[in-house]
Amino acid sequence: MEDARRHYLAQIRRDGAELSPALAEAFATVPREIFVPDGFHRRDGRRVVPADPEFLPTVYSDDVLVTKMNGEVPVSSSSQPSLMATMIEALDVWPGLRVLEIGAGTGYNAALLASLGAVVTTVDVQSDVAARARSALARAGIAGVRVEAADGYTGGPPERYDRIIVTVGVAGVSPHWLDRLEPDGRIVVPVAHGGIHPVLDVRPAPAGPPAVAGPTATVVCSAGFMGAAGPLGARHPRSHPPAAVGLEDLAETSPARWQPPLDPDAYRGLWYAAANWHHRVSHASIPGREQSYLALLDDTGRAGAVVLADGAILASGAEAERWTAVGTALADRWQAADRPPMRAWRTGFALTGDPAAPIWAPSRWTLSSGA
């Protein structure tokens, strides 16, 4: 087991997460297997149970463990550990801080936070998920965590917090979270943008009530999350199109422009900027190819253009020429801006959505000085 955990830390670091000594100790000592006692589904859908030889090697790998399905749709999981680590480090936790977690999942993320000395309240809208997390935390002997079955939009018990971390993809920031947050606090949250869920470091308005000035944010990292239900996941006037699954009949309409092709970080930078500049940016899968791609989707959501990492554009549908031109213009604009990475952007928010359950959604973006 000791070798497995050393390998576990090495994988997390290899996949880009920086681990402080305290967080490395938390990952090395909190037993992840206790939080998946009934097994899990792997990314390919295969079920793995504790009796399987691959159970512990998979538990101590840098991979998501899906723990609840609604038909074919995952609805609860233990997130990819390197992503957990990146988000926890961005949260900047130290002993005694009061942390609200939206999305209890298995309880493992809350256990890591508690191991850093935080006093954690974690909420999950699914009562059975909350009950299993509570049980797992007790079995693991983790103190300092309270688990509540509650709507994440409201934030559960009406208390004040120094930090809020959200472990489910949302359409925006709940005003209730800002009401609970101390003035110098922060929210680390994956907010839908361009068909994915970039993780944002959100700060409350520096002066005046949040309802007047609104929060601001910077980008922590790129990510993809399961989407929230209810007001947190509701589409609104600022929403980008849903992802297109399996775009077909694509043909190359513009040749490659970058050699070598953009590396993953640069491609994510292009994607994020394109979504800042155009409301029809989303992502799409292409039959026969494993990854997802930056896409511009027409009003049907079934055709448009895909921009590849080398700058080539594939397009389909009656307006293929138009969407090729849009993709070219966005790539040109990003190139002319000196290829800004995701982290170079500062985000402002506007209140939108259902008037009975509004959210703060990203609405404006500016490049930070020196970007």
Which residue in the block uniquely carries the two structure tokens 């397009």?
315
d(CA 85, CA 314): 36
Which residue in the block uniquely carries the two structure tokens 């979504």?
275
Catalytic residue among 79, 82, 222, 292: 79
- Our answer to whether residue 79 is catalytic in this structure is yes
Where in the sequence numbering do the catalytic residues fall? 79
